[in-house]
Amino acid sequence: MTNRIGVLAGLVAVTFVVLLIVGPAAAEPDGDPNIQDAWVGKAKSKIYDTSTNGGREKEKAVIEAAIFQVGSELTVTISTPDDAGSPPFVVTGYIGNRRLFLSGEMEPGAPIVMVGKVSGSGNKIKGEGFSRTADGSEISEFKFKLKRD
């Protein structure tokens, strides 16, 4: 009997040491809150010219976002209704604990990354991101605010 207790105590000690070294398994995003809906808002961006001109421009835009959510996974279609020349684009990502992460392409070869936080009421999203043109001639950093439509 004492041998079994010693083995059990040894297993518990080894398990504890492994958990200390490895740590707990990463949890999946919880999908909270559900933000599937139509959203409207504004974006402000700083656009940096990476060519020899090296200039910087500031722009503001009205944006619309259609968010589709399954669990913690998001698919978002973003459009700028005031700019008829800009087609909508899709970003995908995750939401958990009121934080969201999205990435995609504004057009082929033009990456975009967005992070944000959903308000306590679940009716507002505030965030920021970065994008680059397909040819790399411009890099943008932007901030956005959305509210349920």
Contact between 59 and 73 (Cβ < 8 Å):
no
Instruction: Give a yes or no: residue 88 inside a domain.
Output: yes
Name residues whose C-beta falls within 8 Å of residue 123's C-beta, 6 or more positions apart in sequence: 147, 148
**Domain holding 134: CATH number?**
2.40.160.90
Domain enclosing residue 69, as ranges: 37-148
Average pLDDT score over residue span 96-100:
95
User: Does 87 reside within a domain?
Assistant: yes
Domain presence at residue 140: yes
The pLDDT confidence band at residue 82, using thresholds 50, 70 and 90, is confident
Confidence of residue 51 (pLDDT cuts 50, 70, 90): confident
Q: Is the pLDDT of residue 55 over 70?
A: yes
Confidence of residue 8 (pLDDT cuts 50, 70, 90): very low
Let me know if residue 2 belongs to a domain: no
Residue 15 lies in a domain: no
| Torsion, CA 44, CA 49, CA 55, CA 60, rounded to 10 | -20
pLDDT of residue 36: 96
Domain assignment of residue 14, yes or no: no
Instruction: Provide the whole-model pTM.
Output: 0.79
Per-residue pLDDT for 98 more than 70?
Answer: yes
59 occurs within a structural domain = yes
**Which of the four pLDDT bands, split at 50, 70 and 90, describes residue 31?**
confident
Please count the structural domains in the chain. 1
Within a domain: residue 127?
Answer: yes
* pLDDT of 26 above 70: no
